[in-house]
Structure 1
Amino acid sequence: MIKLLKAAWLCSVVLYGAIAHAAAPDKTLTIGVNNWAENIAVANLWKVLLTQKGYSVKLQPGDKAIIYSGVAQGKLDLTFEVWLPSADGRPYDNVKAHVDKIGPWFDKAQLGLAVPDYVKIDSVDQLNAAKDEFSHDGQPTIFGIESGSGLMGLTSKAKQDYALDYNVLPSSEAAMLLTLQRAEQNGKPVVVTLWNPHWVWAKYKLHYLKDPKGTFGTPDSIYAISAKRFSSDFPDASRWMNHWKMNDQTLGDLMNEIRAAGEAQPEKGAENWVKKNQTLVDAWMK
């Protein structure tokens, strides 16, 4: 009888364990990451924070439009880089019925055309008169980033609105920054598509060109978007992200920590930042 009771007890323990295991929530998250410095920074920040809470986090690189579609389809759980209402308004409108918006986590994000301070123009409508200064391969050129970005779309619109006799050259953030670096080193005029938050404003003395026609809009806020199931599947993570706020100082410090640790290992820089900002992090993770 004792043996039977013991066997029954063992069976119940095994059965309970199997049920509990089957009912345990899946804590695997996939985050879409586009190749912008602040996006890489915050994605790695959240990878660090969520991993500390027992989640398994994968970062999936891609262009913004592809990432937004992946979130809308539920193939990605979330992404952190949606500038509203201006820069990403159109691609967001394409998916907003199928995603949830989180935030904003950053206010007063700006984008536009920028030049070094040694360039003596201060408005987009002055570019045509100075076009000989900005020649590249025999043609006045604005150096841009990825062709599918909202910033490049607005730059194309600015070319029309201001009748700019310029080539808008798409490339990547890295290529644009390299062009800016070389121009700065040689004191040469250059005009680039740029945004803040970005660490480059701390490295060089730059200014936005005024935009009297308002093509680039007023400063945006940056939001995250998640798959519709995210808040129900991951209620803790959803709550933490709704507490999350950053500003130029905290985000700039995070990006600088990543650059100091080596951009090939952004997670290490994010870990260093968390250690130095534990009080702020604790306020988010409650």
Structure 2
Amino acid sequence: MSNWKKVLSLGLVLLVVAVLAACGGNDEEANSEENNEQTEQESNTDVNEEEISIGQINWAENIAVTNMWKVILEEKGYNVKLSVLDMGTMMKALESGDLDVSLEVWLPVQDANYLEEYQDTVNFSDATWFDNAKVGLVVPEYVEEVDSIEDLNEHKDLFNGEIVGFDPGAGTMEVTEDLIEEYNLEFELLPSSEPAMLTQIGEAVANEEPIVAPLWTPHWIFSEYDLKFLEDPENIYGGVEKIHHATRTDFADEYPNVSEYFKNWKMDDEQIGELINYVENADEPIEGAREWVEENQDLIDEWVQE
């Protein structure tokens, strides 16, 4: 074989070896990138482009906590949508899967009707985020004639025979209807909305006029006005209420981390009161919630630990 042919053959061999080595390197690099991507996906199984939809009711504490969770979850990389609904529609949406989460279910009394109706089709969490809630009829402190629900009929004319209510379909409104029947009250429960009810209470207090309405704690209004709960000898409203959350049935399978966050969530009177105050006094609820989250990161870290 001539020298130039030997050189050519050797060159071809070296070229083939170089190409194979390059291909092998590319495959290893591609495999490494794929493995890294897979590992990252596995460590963030909850986070995706799907929206987590959280139902919101126009109650002060509900607006506060829904915006708080929107801030917390979006900082974790989730997309969160708040949908304003009434309680009945919210339960139906959880049942159908059109809604992911409801953050406020009062048990054992106020929302017992929803638990009974949807316990097989909606996941009601055993975990609670507030353990010292109270519900009842309230009047201003200056209404000295009335201290108990049993006193109301005797002073019916003082209140024009009206109990000023809020959202129709709310569990507390239904319990109040039962209370009117149990106590044989000669009163009519007037549905409206929470903001409208609070406005009427504020106007009545400003004019030192009598008014009676169903209310609950935690609520900012008790720091604004001197109000008292009426005694409830028949215990129709129940004693201490606990606030739970509820999700569609397969939510925990798709979002196991978020499901654990909600189960870890706990607040006391001071914390929820401060959060409500931040949200109420901000230009936008989300801004107040974001400021509160920034100032309470240690508490939130207890809820969202991986």
TM-score under structure 1 length normalisation: 0.91
Q: Which residue of the partner structure matches residue 106 of structure 1?
A: 130
Q: Distance in 1 between matches of 2:28 and 2:79?
A: 32
Q: Which residue of the partner structure matches residue 231 of structure 2?
A: 210
Per-residue CA distance 1:228-258 (angstroms, 9 max, x = gap):
2111211111111111101111000000001
Q: Distance in 1 between matches of 2:25 and 2:57?
A: 55
Q: Which residue of the partner structure matches residue 238 of structure 1?
A: 259
Q: Distance in 1 between matches of 2:57 and 2:198?
A: 16
Q: Distance in 1 between matches of 2:218 and 2:226?
A: 15
The 8 Å contact of residues 30 and 58 in structure 1, kept in 2 or not, is answered as: yes
Q: Which residue of the partner structure matches residue 140 of structure 2?
A: 116
Q: Distance in 1 between matches of 2:115 and 2:87?
A: 10
1:91 to 106, 110, 114: 114
| Per-residue deviation, 1:219 | 1.8
Q: Which residue of the partner structure matches residue 281 of structure 1?
A: 300
The 8 Å contact of residues 115 and 124 in structure 2, kept in 1 or not, is answered as: no
Q: CA RMSD in A?
A: 2.3
Give the aligned residue type for 2:142: Y
Equivalences for residues 254-273 of structure 1 within 5 A: 254-262=275-283, 265-273=284-292
Q: Which residue of the partner structure matches residue 164 of structure 1?
A: 185
Q: Which consecutive residues of structure 2, in runs of 5 or more, have no partner in the other structure?
A: 1-15
User: Which segment is superposed worse, 183-192 or 269-278?
Assistant: 269-278
Equivalences for residues 169-248 of structure 1 within 5 A: 169-248=190-269
Q: Distance in 2 between matches of 1:35 and 1:7?
A: 60
Q: Distance in 1 between matches of 2:200 and 2:232?
A: 23
Q: Distance in 2 between matches of 1:215 and 1:147?
A: 18
TM-score under structure 2 length normalisation: 0.85
2:159 to 134, 138, 150: 134
The 8 Å contact of residues 30 and 60 in structure 1, kept in 2 or not, is answered as: yes
Q: Which consecutive residues of structure 1, in runs of 5 or more, have no partner in the other structure?
A: none
Q: Which residue of the partner structure matches residue 10 of structure 2?
A: none
State, as a whole percentage, how many aligned pairs show the same letter. Answer: 37
Give the aligned residue type for 2:166: I
The 8 Å contact of residues 68 and 92 in structure 1, kept in 2 or not, is answered as: no
| Per-residue deviation, 1:133 | 1.0
Question: Number of aligned pairs?
Answer: 279
Q: Distance in 1 between matches of 2:178 and 2:249?
A: 32
| Per-residue deviation, 1:186 | 0.3
Q: What secondary structure sits across from 2:204 in the alignment? A: helix
2:273 to 252, 256, 263: 252
Q: Distance in 1 between matches of 2:41 and 2:66?
A: 29
Q: Which residue of the partner structure matches residue 167 of structure 2?
A: 146
Larger Rg: 2
Q: What secondary structure sits across from 2:169 in the alignment? A: coil
1:70 to 93, 100, 123: 93
Give the aligned residue type for 2:92: S
